Amino acid sequence: MPEGHTIHRIASDHAKLLVGRSVSVSSPQGRFSADAALVDGDVLDRIEAYGKHLFLWWRSGYVGHVHLGLFGRFRVQKLTIGEAEPVPVGAVRMRLSTTSSVIDLAGPTACAIFTASERDAIVDRLGPDPLRSDAQPARAIERISRSGQALGALLLDQSVLCGVGNVYRAEALFVNGLHPSRRGRDTSPDELVTLWGTVVSMLCKGVKDNRIVTVDRRELGVSSNRRLRRGEATYVYHRDLCLRCGTPIQTVKLAGRPCYYCPRCQPS
């Protein structure tokens, strides 16, 4: 499932192609046809990312909602002047098209058109998004500090903070030397403030790079210009050995997913 940086990057990239334009909205697959008809030809005013949710604000007042889930993906195709729209490939739930681009959405967990109040109801269930300028970190820190749950579970709980997935939780905990099974209430306020800052920094870098890179290049002794290979991009996630100390990586299952950690760098 895409983590929050991917959704924010999609919002930014798609806004350049769609915002301020009249957009044709259709459903080649057919499952989204009734909703598509509500906004077909309407002007898109803005695209909003909130955690792992994407909201499309239409001038008519309707709001589109997309949650990619495990299998959802967008496909962007730019058109030359006068070029016809391409034939949809596969089961395309929603197509957004202008004279200069076509964006196809396939396989999302959620794809709907509804009202602003329904958008607000979704957001009200979410914790603060570390990538948003209006985030209130104190909300997440206070909730974590009162919880008897493990940090590794709390970081994946979208009602505590939203946008963090399996990679960022493992890497943020590693950078701060926190064992994933440590309870939230056993973590000091200063540690939680620093952990929040690490998450913000990692997600921001993810938006900029359009990929997850959590390591400090200085530790690898590589140039800032060289693209890191997949095995170099993380300290502990999906690794056999800790990138920092070489200790064999272990996992603990939290929130239904394995959380990678280094028993030496993150003592219990």
Residue 231 in this model has a pLDDT that exceeds 90: no
**Structural domain of residue 30, as residue ranges?**
4-124
Lowest mean pLDDT among 150-154, 177-181, 227-231, 240-244: 227-231
Q: Which two tokens stand for residue 208?
A: 């900029």
Catalytic residue among 3, 9, 137, 169: 3
Q: Which two tokens stand for residue 121?
A: 């109801």
Catalytic residue among 21, 143, 205, 257: 257
Q: What's the whole-number average pLDDT of the chain?
A: 95
The verdict on whether 2 is a catalytic residue reads: yes
The verdict on whether 257 is a catalytic residue reads: yes
Catalytic residue among 2, 31, 205, 239: 2
**Does any domain span residue 232?**
yes
Strand partners, 96: 25, 103
- 163 in Cβ contact with 207 (< 8 Å): no
Q: Are residues 67 and 167 in the same domain?
A: no
Q: How far apart are CA 204 and CA 249, in angstroms?
A: 26
Q: Are residues 221 and 257 in the same domain?
A: yes
Domain end, chosen from 58, 92, 124, is at 124
- pLDDT tens, residue by residue, 38-76: 999 999 999 999 999 999 999 999 999 999 999 999 999
**Residue 36: band (very low, low, confident or very high) from pLDDT cuts 50, 70, 90:** very high
pLDDT at site 223: 57
**Residue 216: band (very low, low, confident or very high) from pLDDT cuts 50, 70, 90:** confident
The verdict on whether 128 is a catalytic residue reads: no
Q: Are residues 186 and 232 in the same domain?
A: yes
Q: Are residues 22 and 55 in the same domain?
A: yes
Q: Are residues 149 and 249 in the same domain?
A: yes
Give the CA dihedral 131, 136, 139, 145, nearest 10 degrees: 70
The owner of tokens 């940090």 is 151
**Residue 233: band (very low, low, confident or very high) from pLDDT cuts 50, 70, 90:** confident
Q: Are residues 15 and 88 in the same domain?
A: yes
The CA-atom distances, in angstroms, between 245 and each of 24, 103, 181, 238, 261 are 54, 44, 20, 16, 12
Q: Are residues 166 and 249 in the same domain?
A: yes
Q: How far apart are CA 136 and CA 127, in angstroms?
A: 9
Instruction: Please report, for the domain that includes residue 251, its CATH number.
Output: 1.10.8.50
Give the chain's domain count: 2
The CA-atom distances, in angstroms, between 196 and each of 22, 56, 211, 214 are 39, 28, 20, 15
**Residue 1: band (very low, low, confident or very high) from pLDDT cuts 50, 70, 90:** confident
Catalytic residue among 9, 28, 52, 169: 52
Residue 203 in this model has a pLDDT that exceeds 70: yes
Q: How many residues does the chain have?
A: 268
Q: Are residues 151 and 120 in the same domain?
A: no
Largest CA distance in the chain: 62
- 159 in Cβ contact with 127 (< 8 Å): yes
Q: Are residues 23 and 114 in the same domain?
A: yes
- Hey, which of 148-152, 226-230, 232-236 has the most confident mean pLDDT? 148-152
**Does any domain span residue 104?**
yes
Q: How far apart are CA 98 and CA 262, in angstroms?
A: 49
Q: Average of pLDDT values for 85-113?
A: 97
**Does any domain span residue 266?**
no
Lowest mean pLDDT among 7-11, 33-37, 136-140, 206-210: 206-210
Q: Are residues 115 and 150 in the same domain?
A: no
- pLDDT tens, residue by residue, 93-102: 999 999 999 9
Lowest mean pLDDT among 177-186, 211-220, 259-268: 211-220
pLDDT at site 2: 87
The verdict on whether 52 is a catalytic residue reads: yes
Closest to 181 (Cα-Cα) out of 84, 252, 85, 86? 252
Q: Are residues 41 and 118 in the same domain?
A: yes
**Does any domain span residue 267?**
no
- 152 in Cβ contact with 171 (< 8 Å): no
